Structure 1
């Protein structure tokens, strides 16, 4: 009998991409044994890029079914909530739709696994009542998982918000020491609803049937060992952990975005550059800067003398201000006067978006200045590209600490103050260090070796291949 696997990615295109890659692997290995349905809520985090991506998937992967929920009703109270609190409210409403779906006899029959993104823990009780095994898909790495498993313990050690403890340093099993103010964004303000939502999910995370993590054995040895030893949880058993990475999207033209002429030509431009000579600066879908910071980046790049490919988005105008996603970026207004003319022989600035996977795998690419989003980290690892770590939001400060201090896979960008501002001199220094310094050469060699580890994980009898086979065997027997 065919086993049904239901995937609920909640919100965010980057998380959907990784979970869909898992679905593709399942169906590739067992096309007749399993079916996959992806539940898609509409909400405040839906974008044209996500809609385009889903449409293309429906055409190219007909074996993956997509079920759309209706748009949750608007709540005027969200106007005064933080982005994190709004996210948790959205997830709560969306989870109710998932429960309704699971309770339909024609839908629920034969489900052998419900896979939800982390922060969908509220589905556990409903799934248990229906006898459906529930698994968490952890879109970040083992280091972030170690953090979240141990977070309730750290929560109990203080009554203050971590953002108000600038000199405090906390130790998490398997992680380098972490300043309180460098904890994941949702953990900083104890008075915010988002904090308590994260705490709730962290507390209930061990109750799942298992956790699927987008990483691979050998990449984060300290964190995986701490999780295996059970030191992240006190007086509670650790659920089974399945390391099934790297799961990254394919390099496709456009990837859901409207592609302009200059974005089309960035790969052609790279074709004209010497091998391993270009540094790529790209900061994710939410990675935006103040106008002053954009000018400092330009100053640093120009003074570094390095070849560069830089993705520039519209600036943010202040803390908490929403940025509209748009390819209509006025580069002349944002960049220093005549910057484009002065650097045109060794640099290319692209508006809003570039095909990141294709760029990272281009032979002219020699380094990557990244916000440390986990998808971007894995894409760089698979491409064998060394990094400069410049975290901006979410758990990226934690990722930076691990990449720089433990893995020695990146050079850290140092901020000038607590607002995260980085001077042009610092940009120049780190870019030079990455592209022509001794540390950069060491990172390049280490990146090459790590790339081989990442590719080996999905080969026959590789660690990720073995973990997937083990889990599919559990689901197959559970669905009969």
Structure 2
């Protein structure tokens, strides 16, 4: 009997990327009828987090995982986190080669799937004559931009943020240069150089698996499939999202508190697994929540001038001590403040949750859509501004607060937007659109749904290779 087809998965360091590609691996195995096996080779910066380890312990026996030796940067390094993540993969290539050599002696290796920021690893796939795929955990709109960027790089001599007209990405809502992903905001920097290289590598892959579905991004997905652009095959297989991590930090407290609230009355406030605010912005957000008079559940992190400072590192400071004096006491009947983490999937699925003030990370966006929760868009870094434009201008499922001349969103503006979402007709209309997205997402995941059929065909192709 022929051995099962074996694929190797390479995520990039960072919790949000790991969880998405792990969920993809689980779904791929589920739809392969036992004819596929998966090995995850996980590059690491410093040491793996306890949460990452806990996730891997829940995997089925057909998915094996190995943390590769840690790559360390000195504390004094000025290398941006996004670049460190990619360099960690590049410096892990010798370990990946070694692992592939060992696997190939006893397995029928057929393909490698690498996260976008781990695409340097695909050189190892070519060396072993494996099919090479990129797993793209963000939106189809962002993928469209990434595939379009090499051409844009040749055509536009100036900084993109200085363009007077919006960029017309095939199939997408027009977007101004200032809202393009963070790595392309300075074309002279190292981050841009690395990001452009990743976008060029997309064109070299045998295909790209994107975590989206037709019901939420019909235009971009249709454009990605059109001939004439020279794009690789694109497989829309979303929504792929976590179903709950079993982490008990603050979990039971959050859910108990929500049980005592009126349906659709609570604004959930969280900036994802890595987002942070400055001290001034933290103060204004606190003021706005208090002024709104609306119920809130706020996941607070210690402030930082770097918007993604918690992306790889857990913070040791008690974040609650950075809140304005007396805030927790004054709002104890109005809201619940929890440090660093909450069970987001369960919170968004709770009937009391009526809105989500979010950084617009794609994982959080999909989790909101699949629970029909209206949004307040507050992007911080990466491609989040692009997602915010799509959610606000394109899908019209989010309100977006306006910043003042200092770049801060003031407390009164926060209060106004929250009230509009929870109490206004505008918020109810957004809720109806979100419910439509929820239904479309559920339909895509059914046995005959577009995303399930796409993933099954992908698995069939791997098994027969």
- TM-score, normalised by the number of residues in structure 2: 0.93
Contact 2:85 2:117 (8 Å CA) reproduced: no
Contact 1:146 1:223 (8 Å CA) reproduced: yes
Residue deviations 1:175-208, cap 9 Å, x none?
2232222211111122222211111121121221
- Mean Cα displacement is larger for which, 405-414 or 380-389? 405-414
Contact 1:161 1:191 (8 Å CA) reproduced: no
- TM-score, normalised by the number of residues in structure 1: 0.90
Task: Indicate the residue corresponding to 1:369 in structure 2.
Answer: 357
Within 5 Å, which residues of 2 pair with 1:134-149? 134-149=132-147
Q: Measure, in 2, the Cα distance between the counterparts of 1:62 and 1:335.
A: 45
Classify the secondary structure of the residue corresponding to 1:101.
helix
Is 1:338 equivalent to 2:326 in the alignment?
yes
Task: Indicate the residue corresponding to 2:371 in structure 1.
Answer: 383
Contact 2:300 2:319 (8 Å CA) reproduced: no
Classify the secondary structure of the residue corresponding to 1:474.
helix
- Work out which of the residue numbers 310, 326, 340 in structure 1 matches 2:315: 326
Task: Indicate the residue corresponding to 2:13 in structure 1.
Answer: 11
Q: Measure, in 1, the Cα distance between the counterparts of 2:108 and 2:309.
A: 45
Residue deviations 1:387-441, cap 9 Å, x none?
0110000000000011111111211122224x64211111111111111112111
Q: 1:379 to 1:45 in 2, by over 3 A?
A: farther
Task: Indicate the residue corresponding to 1:119 in structure 2.
Answer: 117
Q: 1:125 to 1:326 in 2, by over 3 A?
A: closer
Contact 2:300 2:339 (8 Å CA) reproduced: yes
Q: Measure, in 2, the Cα distance between the counterparts of 1:199 and 1:51.
A: 32
Q: Measure, in 2, the Cα distance between the counterparts of 1:57 and 1:105.
A: 22
Task: Indicate the residue corresponding to 1:99 in structure 2.
Answer: 97
Q: 1:226 to 1:335 in 2, by over 3 A?
A: same
Is 1:246 equivalent to 2:239 in the alignment?
yes
- Work out which of the residue numbers 16, 39, 42 in structure 2 matches 1:40: 42
Contact 1:6 1:114 (8 Å CA) reproduced: yes
Residue deviations 1:119-166, cap 9 Å, x none?
333333432232100111000011110010101111112334445x27
Unaligned runs of 5+ in 1: none
Q: 1:86 to 1:269 in 2, by over 3 A?
A: same
Moved over 4 A (4+): 75-78, 317-324
- Work out which of the residue numbers 207, 216, 220 in structure 2 matches 1:219: 216
Contact 1:411 1:430 (8 Å CA) reproduced: yes
Q: Measure, in 2, the Cα distance between the counterparts of 1:86 and 1:230.
A: 36
Task: Indicate the residue corresponding to 1:441 in structure 2.
Answer: 428
Classify the secondary structure of the residue corresponding to 1:134.
strand
Task: Indicate the residue corresponding to 2:70 in structure 1.
Answer: 71
Classify the secondary structure of the residue corresponding to 1:457.
helix
Contact 1:279 1:367 (8 Å CA) reproduced: yes
Classify the secondary structure of the residue corresponding to 1:366.
strand
Is 1:405 equivalent to 2:393 in the alignment?
yes
Is 1:206 equivalent to 2:198 in the alignment?
no
Residue deviations 1:83-140, cap 9 Å, x none?
2332222221123422332244645841122110013333334322321001110000
Q: Measure, in 2, the Cα distance between the counterparts of 1:210 and 1:243.
A: 11
Task: Indicate the residue corresponding to 2:170 in structure 1.
Answer: 173
Task: Indicate the residue corresponding to 1:85 in structure 2.
Answer: 83
Q: Give the Å deviation of 1:274.
A: 0.5
Q: 1:350 to 1:134 in 2, by over 3 A?
A: same
Classify the secondary structure of the residue corresponding to 2:325.
coil
Q: Measure, in 1, the Cα distance between the counterparts of 2:100 and 2:244.
A: 34
Q: Measure, in 1, the Cα distance between the counterparts of 2:21 and 2:210.
A: 11
Residue deviations 1:250-301, cap 9 Å, x none?
12431xxx725xx531110000001111110000121111111111111111
- Mean Cα displacement is larger for which, 80-89 or 190-199? 80-89
